[in-house]
């Protein structure tokens, strides 16, 4: 579930509570959580002792903590990852994967992840932008995002518009929830071929993507259960503002037609069949 608004909410918390602190010890409770760290868990632990965190940054759905000396800890929440700040005497979470203890009296930083799709690794010299995630595009909230280049790139692609929105090398930060919500706002069907879209249509969609991401960030993100929480364990409330995602059979808030769920890329696509029609003759 964590998409840009949720990851950014976590980043803000990390920046507030971890920046400037020096790591004392690290414990890897589950090796799978560091599987992307090629040198292995023991190296991960040894390399971080004594290092000071100098910030908290984000690229799309990836986070990284720059360290003194120029390296960085890269993190991805996957489906169910959480960064939690917890006093040392707090009982371990069932799905605790990695623990960071600092050389001060402050709380531990714990990486908790039920489904273990997420994980952490160290990027050598990656403080500015880790090479491991340099292929991830900027997100639409990034001031340096190039709107014209994005519009042109989308129109050059030969695929469906939702696939394009989910392609993190084209635009980052968007996942299944916000893709569906932006497409509903733009009245576009998920299968609309990108090469049939006009420049204004893509530009308009980009505007809706920005709007929905911004609104969700203000709400502290979307959560349906306790899986997505900020560093203090609190849930966002944007799920109350969703128009199509997860609403199969419920009336469209705009026209009343029942929301439809289609199988899509081994997951789901939610649309309003009236607001986002798919042409009968196959011509868009």
Say whether residue 1 binds DNA (CB under 7 A).
yes
Binding DNA (rule: CB under 7 A), the pick from 13, 60, 140, 236 is 60
Q: Is 61 assigned a catalytic role?
A: yes
Say whether residue 280 binds DNA (CB under 7 A).
no
Say whether residue 163 binds DNA (CB under 7 A).
yes
User: What phi and psi, each to the nearest 5 degrees, are found at residue 52?
Assistant: -105, 130
How many Å apart are CA 37 and CA 75, to the nearest integer? 11
Q: Where are the alpha helices (DSSP H) in the chain?
A: 4-17, 41-48, 147-156, 161-166, 176-185, 199-218
Say whether residue 282 binds DNA (CB under 7 A).
no
Binding DNA (rule: CB under 7 A), the pick from 51, 157, 187, 278 is 157
Say whether residue 22 binds DNA (CB under 7 A).
no
CB proximity list for 21: less than 8 A, separation 6 or greater: 52, 53, 102, 103, 104, 106
Q: Is 193 assigned a catalytic role?
A: no
Active-site hit among 2, 5, 66, 130: 2
Long-range contacts of 96-99 (CB under 8 A, 24+ apart): 96/29, 96/30, 97/28, 97/29, 97/30, 97/32, 97/33, 98/26, 98/27, 98/28, 98/29, 98/30, 98/33, 98/34, 99/26, 99/27, 99/29
Say whether residue 254 binds DNA (CB under 7 A).
no
Say whether residue 133 binds DNA (CB under 7 A).
yes
Active-site hit among 11, 58, 61, 110: 61
Closest CA to 128 of 232, 55, 76, 192: 55
Say whether residue 95 binds DNA (CB under 7 A).
yes
Say whether residue 192 binds DNA (CB under 7 A).
no
Number of residues that bind DNA (CB under 7 A): 37
How many Å apart are CA 13 and CA 65, to the nearest integer? 12
Least distance to DNA, CB of residue 261, Å: 7
Q: Is 2 assigned a catalytic role?
A: yes
Tell me which residues in 104-123 interact with DNA (CB under 7 A): 114-117
CB proximity list for 69: less than 8 A, separation 6 or greater: 51
Active-site hit among 240, 267, 280, 283: 267
Say whether residue 265 binds DNA (CB under 7 A).
yes
Binding site for DNA (CB under 7 A): 1-3, 32, 60-62, 76, 78-79, 94-95, 114-117, 133, 135, 156-160, 163, 166, 168, 172, 175-177, 245, 261, 263, 265-268
């Amino acid at each position: 579930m964590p998409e840009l608004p949720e990851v950014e909410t976590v980043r803000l918390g990390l920046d507030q509570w971890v920046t400037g602190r020096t790591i004392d010890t690290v414990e890897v409770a589950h090796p799978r959580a560091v599987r992307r760290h090629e040198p292995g868990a023991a190296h991960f632990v040894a390399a971080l002792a004594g290092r000071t965190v100098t910030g908290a940054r984000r690229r799309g759905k990836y986070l990284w903590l720059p360290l003194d000396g120029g390296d960085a800890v890269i993190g991805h929440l996957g489906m169910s990852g959480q960064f939690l700040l917890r006093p040392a005497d707090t009982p371990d979470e069932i799905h605790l994967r990695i623990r960071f203890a600092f050389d001060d009296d402050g709380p531990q930083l714990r990486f908790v992840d039920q489904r273990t799709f997420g994980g952490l690794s160290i990027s050598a010299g990656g403080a500015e932008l880790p090479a491991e995630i340099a292929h991830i595009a900027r997100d639409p909230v990034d001031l340096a995002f190039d709107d014209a280049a994005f519009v042109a790139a989308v129109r050059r692609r030969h695929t469906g518009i939702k696939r394009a929105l989910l392609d993190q090398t084209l635009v980052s930060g968007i996942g299944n929830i916000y893709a569906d919500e932006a497409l509903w706002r733009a009245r576009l069907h998920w299968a609309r071929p990108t090469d049939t879209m006009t420049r204004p249509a893509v530009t308009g969609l980009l505007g809706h993507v920005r709007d929905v991401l911004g609104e969700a960030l203000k709400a502290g993100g979307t959560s349906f259960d306790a899986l997505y929480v900020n560093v203090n364990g609190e849930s966002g409330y944007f799920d109350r503002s969703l128009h199509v995602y997860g609403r199969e059979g419920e009336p469209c808030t705009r026209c009343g037609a029942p929301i439809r769920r289609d199988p899509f890329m081994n997951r789901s696509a939610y649309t309003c069949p009236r607001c986002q029609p798919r042409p009968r003759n196959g011509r868009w």
